[in-house]
Structure 1
């Protein structure tokens, strides 16, 4: 019996030692004694210095410690921006969606909608970033449409917002790029001799996207397709529409632009 008791005591002591060792090796939270304002100041410093991976956890801590205050709301917005700048658009958008859902009356809702639009805009468009010559017309359209919807909600709900003018300009670009997507497909069909398919796709652009520059090429594709099909009357009618709406069009004298020249350069 004495030996058994000694073994039990030894085992308990060993367990306590292990637990104490584990506790002593646990990482300490350097922000444990910080006020919410100090956490926010440190997070903003990291954000402004490009330390996005360090800023995000600080904003997370601030959300918890300042819960229910305007500072916690600001932390969510700034965290979304940090995710965006860190190249994590999905996390940024998820954060903004959560913010919009939880704080529908926040005075920062217009900025949240604007930032959400910008994230999707930059995720799929290369014009403003200047990083690529591949235009949106040759890529997936989902991000562009999501961007358009965010900007549309912004300018509808907050017409006087400071972000509305830029959102409006970006919406114009998106609409033309979506039209150009249809035109890109129409030209693809035309170059492969599928003239009826080319005409149908060009007509879709004309029907869905009125008053945008991309329609100039759509009309020209229809002119060339009707000509290839020997449909002279329709060719001539379409050519008159092209000349009336785009009196300075180079298409009738120069033909298609080079593919190396992005369509948006003449807009």
Structure 2
């Protein structure tokens, strides 16, 4: 290239660069945090997240922890931040998001020091979504599944006692749902359908608050169908386990009106299930 041509090209490059610099200088400052980018090191972001959490700025804390997980993956800080993100989402009542974050953590770090706590948070997130027994009880089933992992996989953790309490509550909800459906069928004299629901309660949820009524409803349903021996057995099991209950008094009165009394048939499924009630299993 000739010398004159090189001078022209150099001049054009200088002019273009100058125009670019001038343009940048005249533009307003851009806040990169609004672009979702955090420039601080992960340890700084983590401490900022903790500080915001302590100050009650939970949304800002969550933003810091999420930034670590996003900007610094596969680091120890990312692992710690994912624990805190799970907690923050739980505190924000973003339960589905908390379950998602917690599940991702458990898939990656099932044997870490924080694994029991994260699994417990997953269970809490499900338990907070349990609704009235007239509605779907999927959250109750998920609570049991999640909390059983706490009990079975981390039996020495400090979360076991509360996990067991949440399991009992969720099981009572599932039993309550079966009772609600069973009563619906019983009111419509669909006895076989009602019995199948009450049987689920007696066999699968023997240590819940619902089993007492379930036995009494079995007395009622079997007696209405003319299957008196099963009605007597249900009443006998009810009386053996809950002798002072109003449900037993009502069942006894119903049988007495037909000239019979509670009497256990050892070959009945109800008698076999009754042994589990006695053992509380």
- TM-score range, shorter-chain basis? 0.7 to 0.9
> What secondary structure sits across from 1:29 in the alignment?
helix
Question: Relative to 1, partners in 2 of residues 1:234 and 1:42: Cα closer, same or farther, differing over 3 Å?
Answer: same
Aligned 1:80-91 pairs, distance under 5 A:
80-91=86-97
* 1:110 has 2:143 as partner: no
Between stretches 40-49 and 69-78, larger displacement belongs to 40-49
Contact 2:49–2:64 (8 Å) recurs in 1: yes
1:174-225 CA deviation, whole Å, 9 max, x = no partner? Answer: 2222222211211121122222211121112222223333111111111112
Match of residue 121 from structure 1: 127
Structure 1, residues 31-79: CA drift from partner, whole Å, max 9, x if none? Answer: 9664433322321233344433222221122235654443321211111
Equivalent in 226, 229, 232 of residue 233 of structure 1: 229
Closer/same/farther in 2, CA of residues 19 and 79 from structure 1, 3 Å limit: farther
Q: 2:178 aligns with which of 182, 189, 192?
A: 182
Work out the CA distance in 2 between the residues paired with 1:19 and 1:224.
86
Query: What is the distance in 1 between the residues matched to 2:216 and 2:21?
Result: 83
Give the corresponding residue for 2:8.
none
Q: Number of residue pairs matched?
A: 237
Unmatched runs of 5 consecutive residues or more in structure 2: 1-11, 252-281
The answer as to whether partners of 1:190 and 1:198 remain within 8 angstroms in 2 is yes
What is residue 103 of structure 2 aligned with on the other side? 97
Q: Which residue of 2 aligns with 1:247?
A: 243
- CA 1:32–1:201: 2 relative to 1, 3 Å: closer
Instruction: Give the TM-score of the pair, scaled to structure 1.
Output: 0.76
Q: Any residues of structure 2 matched to 1:160-175 within 5 Å, and which?
A: 160-175=156-171
- Structure 1 CA distance, aligned partners of 2:219 and 2:108? 53
Decide whether aligned partners of structure 1 residues 203 and 119 sit closer, same or farther in structure 2, where only a CA change above 3 A counts.
same
Indicate the larger mover: 58-67 or 87-96.
Answer: 58-67
For 2:203 and 2:38, locate their aligned partners in 1 and report how far apart those are by CA, in whole Å.
61
Say which SS state the counterpart of residue 199 (structure 2) adopts.
helix
Partner Cα separation in structure 1 for residue 180 and residue 26 of structure 2: 62
Q: Normalising by structure 2, what TM-score?
A: 0.73
- The CA RMSD over aligned residues, in Å, is 3.2
Structure 2 CA distance for partners of 1:216 and 1:170, relative to 1, 3 Å = same
| 2:82 paired residue number | 76
1:141 aligns with: 137
User: Which blocks of at least 5 consecutive residues in structure 1 are unaligned?
Assistant: 1-7, 126-133, 256-267
> Is residue 27 from structure 1 mapped to residue 31 from structure 2 by the alignment?
yes
Cα offset, 1:18, TM superposition: 10
Task: Tell which structure's C-alpha radius of gyration is larger.
Answer: 2
